[in-house]
Amino acid sequence: MLLIALLLIPISTAAASYFARRREEMERANLTGFGLTFLIAIALAAQVLAHGTVSLANGFFYADALSALVILLTALVALVCATYSIGYLRDDQESGELGEEVEEQIAQLRMYSTLTPLFVFSMMFVAVANNLGVMWAAIEATTLVSVFLVTFYGKVTSLEAAWKYAIIGGVGLSMALFGTLVTYYAGHRLAGSDALAGLNWSVLAQHAELLDKTSMRLAFVLILMGYGTKAGLAPMHTWKPDAYSEAPVPSAAILSSAMLNCALYGLIRFYILTSRSLGTEYPSHLLLLFGLLSMGISVPFILVQKNYRRLLAYHTIDHSGIMVTALGLGGPLGTLGLMLHMTFHTIAKSLLFLCAGNVRQHFKTDLFSEIKGSVIRVMPLTGVIFLMAMLAIIGTPPFSLFQSEFLIVRAAFDGGHLLTGVLFVLFGTGVFAGALLHVGGMILGPKGDMPVAPRRPWRDGSLLALVTVLVVIGFWVPAPLLELIRGAAKVVSGQ
């Protein structure tokens, strides 16, 4: 039941927003819808902790600890962004970013508040679909829905960003579909494969050692290229900075945290099948290669970056590289690092984008050089939170991401991947220097003559809520959440 509700609520939210006439109705629909989704995600996590796995409709819907964790994180980000976007879009409406006419503005708001629940719906579908083909269709749907969120402001540059996003994503996903097809072929001699269950992950995972090995090799490469494109792994990452810097900030926050998780989720599902069929060595080499390449490529771009939203996008490329590296290291330690990192990164990265949105709306620029005066004096709350989230994301202790990155480095040295460990630390240092240099300068820079910005209840509230979560889980992860994370790691490593 919970699994169905998880899909029905976002869909009804989208419908309610589509037929709403006034801004307040849309805001209320989104807030209620995402609030309910979040509650259900918690209930689902509780159920998974109690029973192990939940499935419905003959195994068409399926959730284990891994799905429950991804769902919980998606729901959290969606709720926070819905709250934030109320203030954000009101500001846009007042400043004329949404057009001059009232009707035009309402049409824009309607588009935003309809597409966002549909976006969340497709991400939830990714996490609860058992059939790998259906999961593919849901991942493709996340791209199709979010294309028009990227073109939201209708600028020439947003069209360019959306075009790159749709075409590169489309090519990548066609490779992923090929991989899914080859996986189906690899398992098509298993009993009962003619029926729908032939592509069900739970069935394939049980009989993984019977899968055709040659086919699985090819399938994994295709899947890695395909879902890797969606996750923004180098060298298929080029759409990412464009899409993230052109989309409205709450959408960018969802894209860079929740949608990244969904793409990685698809990759992880296939990793489990491949590693059970071929052993961990083959997938792990490929994953380490792409992971380290993504981390490495992001370093120079972060060091010379002039635009803070693009800086955050390159950070996401770096972190998707970190998570793929952790997956490649595997074992109980690597997978635990991966799941912790996914959790912490989701919170910190969405927080960063929301802070960037405040800065962007107040200073009307995306460039570091044009922000006159220090953010921390003009917008004290945003400035402090921005700095804290930045310190967290580059892995400074005592924040949470330090722990997960430390775990991953430990997994690298424990597993004898010396080179990986050394490169990981090296790239991490580069990112650390670059980010601190730019963002530190922006927030703590010389005093300007801008007056102190007024308070913004919706946005400040959502920032405060999220930063509280970030700080608290740095010191103390609640026992049920830790259990869920451990459960998800166990699903991946099998130990």
Sole binder of another protein in the list 42, 56, 111, 171 (CB under 8 A): 171
Binding flag, residue 134, another protein (CB under 8 A): yes
Binding flag, residue 50, another protein (CB under 8 A): no
Binding flag, residue 316, another protein (CB under 8 A): no
Q: Single out the segment in contact with another protein by CB under 8 A; choices: 188-196, 277-285, 348-356, 487-495.
A: 188-196
Binding flag, residue 161, another protein (CB under 8 A): yes
Secondary structure class of 458 (helix, strand, coil): helix
Any bridge partners for residue 307, and if so which? 367
- 199 residue type, one letter: L
- 373 residue type, one letter: G
Sole binder of another protein in the list 58, 95, 206, 214 (CB under 8 A): 214
Binding flag, residue 167, another protein (CB under 8 A): yes
How far is residue 430's CA from residue 303's CA, in Å, rounded to a whole number?
8
Sole binder of another protein in the list 137, 190, 205, 450 (CB under 8 A): 137
Place of tokens 């109690």: 50
Place of tokens 């001059």: 100
Comparison of 278 and 379: residue with beta carbon closer to another protein = 278
Please report the DSSP string for 282-337 in residue order: HHHHHHHHHHHHHHHHHHHHHHT--BHHHHHHHHHHHHHHHHHHHHHH-HHHHHHH
Binding flag, residue 124, another protein (CB under 8 A): no
Binding flag, residue 144, another protein (CB under 8 A): yes
Sole binder of another protein in the list 39, 141, 190, 482 (CB under 8 A): 141
Binding flag, residue 301, another protein (CB under 8 A): yes
Place of tokens 């002039």: 306
C-alpha distances out from residue 35 to 77, 166, 349, 462, Å: 11, 30, 21, 13
Any bridge partners for residue 200, and if so which? 131
Q: Single out the segment in contact with another protein by CB under 8 A; choices: 282-290, 304-312, 409-417, 477-485.
A: 304-312
Binding flag, residue 244, another protein (CB under 8 A): no
Angle between helices 400-414 and 308-329 (to 10 degrees): 40
CA dihedral 60, 482, 287, 308 (to 10 degrees): 110
Binding flag, residue 310, another protein (CB under 8 A): yes
Binding flag, residue 241, another protein (CB under 8 A): yes
The footprint of another protein (CB under 8 A) covers: 131, 133-134, 136-138, 140-141, 144, 147-148, 151, 156-157, 159-164, 166-167, 170-171, 174, 177-178, 181-182, 184-185, 188, 195-196, 198-199, 214-215, 241-242, 245-246, 301, 304-307, 310
